[in-house]
């Protein structure tokens, strides 16, 4: 990809830059009265980009997190530009100095064991859709696959014999294998027999036989959550998205005593920092840590070795 001083329509942006520059051309056109093909790198100074980012939040209601995603893409472009057009190094340095916006992270929404069981009991197993949905939800809750990984799963990626697991291609095109428990294996075997299709077939197809969309997964989850809320009142207060099923899988592992490093590998996290959020999400784990500490009001005991004679007699 070339990076000339002009950033008009001739420039072919990589996909991660597109999100950052979506809207910035029209904003610059309004402010500078220049058409997109007339814009140059010099026009995109720190003041204009900062004003554009502020406008995203003020006029369009963009969240601070989405603003930061745009800024990260813009920073990526300007780091590349620093190598290609060093004569603009001063302008580039000022753009790269624009800080991310701080924001309060919302608590992670996840399902407890009881809530997960209520969700899995919701689909109507007398119907094809109900059996598909329950199997999908069970696999999602047990493996923690991303939605994109789940809907792209094919039977050739599933091993149901000894060492049962699913193989998927995650972020950064990195392949990983996730083990399957007996319940998930049984459900998948029954579902595979019902489909009776080739190894390249989609595991969780739509009614037309193609892959499900993200929206379709969100809709089926919403439908079954509404049913589950009638049996499990604690679900009324929770807004669970398909990604929340991934959070639920991680929290289940954490509550079972699985180390964070293993959970990071299980979920395919690039960095352990991403996995640390689950430690902050569980009040129960914090209470367990607190229970292991000595209260400030309680005097610490002193170690006193056993009497030598008593120790000898006990050893007999």
pLDDT in tens, 177-196: 999 999 999 999 999 998 86
Q: For residue 88, indicate whether it is catalytic.
A: no
Q: For residue 278, indicate whether it is catalytic.
A: yes
* Pairing outcome for strands 158-159 and 175-179: unpaired
Q: For residue 165, indicate whether it is catalytic.
A: no
- Considering 25, 67, 229, 246, which one is annotated as catalytic? 246
What tokens does 26 get?
A: 């029209």
User: Strand pairing partners for 202?
Assistant: 154
What pLDDT is attached to residue 8?
A: 42
* Alpha-helical segments (H) within the chain: 15-21, 24-32, 46-60, 64-84, 89-96, 113-120, 128-143, 147-151, 182-195, 214-228, 242-255, 260-267, 272-275, 277-281, 283-291, 308-315
Q: For residue 12, indicate whether it is catalytic.
A: no
- Considering 67, 70, 88, 269, which one is annotated as catalytic? 269
DSSP three-state, residue 109 = coil
Q: For residue 247, indicate whether it is catalytic.
A: no
- Considering 146, 224, 229, 247, which one is annotated as catalytic? 146
- The yes-or-no verdict on residue 1 having pLDDT over 70 is no
Q: Which domains does the chain have, with CATH numbers?
A: 15-96 (no CATH), 114-239 (1.10.443.10)
| Predicted structure pTM score | 0.65
Q: How many angstroms separate the CA atoms of 56 and 77, rounded?
A: 19
Per-residue pLDDT tens digits for 53-107: 998 888 888 888 888 888 988 898 899 999 999 999 999 999 999 999 887 777 7
- Considering 65, 171, 189, 286, which one is annotated as catalytic? 171
What pLDDT is attached to residue 9?
A: 37
CA dihedral 4, 7, 8, 9 (to 10 degrees): 80
CA dihedral 149, 155, 161, 164 (to 10 degrees): 0
Q: For residue 80, indicate whether it is catalytic.
A: no
What pLDDT is attached to residue 111?
A: 94
CA-closest candidate to residue 12, choices 77, 91, 69, 67: 77
Per-residue pLDDT tens digits for 110-158: 999 999 999 999 999 999 999 999 999 999 999 999 999 999 999 999 9
């Amino acid at each position: 990809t070339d990076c000339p001083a002009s950033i008009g329509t001739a420039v072919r942006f990589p996909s991660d830059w597109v999100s950052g520059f979506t809207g910035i051309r029209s904003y610059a056109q309004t402010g500078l009265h220049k058409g997109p093909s007339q814009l140059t790198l010099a026009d995109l100074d720190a003041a204009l980009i900062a004003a554009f980012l502020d406008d995203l939040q003020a006029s369009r209601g963009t969240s601070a997190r989405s603003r930061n995603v745009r800024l990260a893409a813009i920073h990526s472009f300007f780091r590349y530009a620093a190598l290609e057009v060093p004569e603009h190094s001063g302008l580039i340095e000022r753009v790269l100095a624009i800080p991310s916006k701080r924001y309060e992270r919302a608590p992670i929404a996840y399902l407890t064991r009881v809530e997960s069981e209520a969700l899995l009991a919701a689909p109507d197993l007398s119907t094809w859709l109900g059996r598909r949905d329950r199997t999908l939800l069970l696999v999602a809750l047990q493996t923690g696959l991303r939605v994109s990984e789940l809907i792209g799963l094919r039977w050739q990626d599933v091993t149901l014999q000894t060492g049962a697991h699913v193989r998927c291609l995650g972020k950064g095109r990195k392949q990983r294998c996730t083990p399957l428990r007996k319940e998930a294996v049984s459900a998948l075997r029954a579902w595979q027999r019902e489909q009776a299709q080739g190894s390249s077939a989609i595991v969780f197809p739509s009614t037309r036989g193609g892959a499900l969309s993200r929206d379709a997964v969100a809709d089926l989850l919403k439908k079954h959550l509404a049913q589950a809320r009638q049996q499990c009142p604690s679900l009324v207060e929770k807004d669970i998205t398909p990604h929340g099923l991934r959070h639920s899988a991680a929290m289940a592992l954490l509550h079972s005593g699985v180390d964070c490093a293993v959970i990071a590998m299980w979920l395919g996290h690039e960095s352990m920092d991403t996995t640390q959020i689950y430690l902050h999400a569980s009040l129960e784990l914090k209470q367990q840590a607190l229970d292991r500490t000595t209260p400030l009001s309680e005097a610490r005991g002193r170690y006193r070795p056993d009497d030598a004679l008593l120790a000898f007699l006990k050893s007999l």
